[in-house]
Amino acid sequence: MSAQPDHAPVPPYAPAPGAPAELLAQLRADRRANTWVPAFEREWSAALEESRRAFSLAPLYAVVQDWQGRLASAPAVDAFVASGYDDSQFIDMAELRRRRR
């Protein structure tokens, strides 16, 4: 009998070493660069401080993963907005909260 597990554990998400730089280059090339680049840099700086404090790369990995997702979903969001889909039938939660006050 072996002390080894009978299954391989799923490794945590770890981006490639150059992923943050590649991601930043993609963000700079996007039409939303004026807002996205500063937002990414703020989140990256905060994650870097947290990583230093916690001795963990997880906050940095999370920022990269979040921004990769945002960048990947941007064309679908653009297509939805461009479609002119009328979403006025849905509840505006911000308006609902204001009414409750």
Lowest mean pLDDT among 19-23, 46-50, 91-95: 91-95
Pair of tokens at residue 64: 């990269």
Q: Do residues 27 and 36 touch, judged by C-beta distance below 8 A?
A: yes
Angle, vertex CA 54, rays to CA 52 and CA 56, nearest 5: 80
pLDDT tops 70 at residue 40: yes
Q: Do residues 64 and 51 touch, judged by C-beta distance below 8 A?
A: no
Q: What does the alpha-carbon distance between residue 80 and residue 48 come to, in Å, rounded to a whole number?
A: 34
Lowest mean pLDDT among 8-22, 31-45, 51-65: 8-22
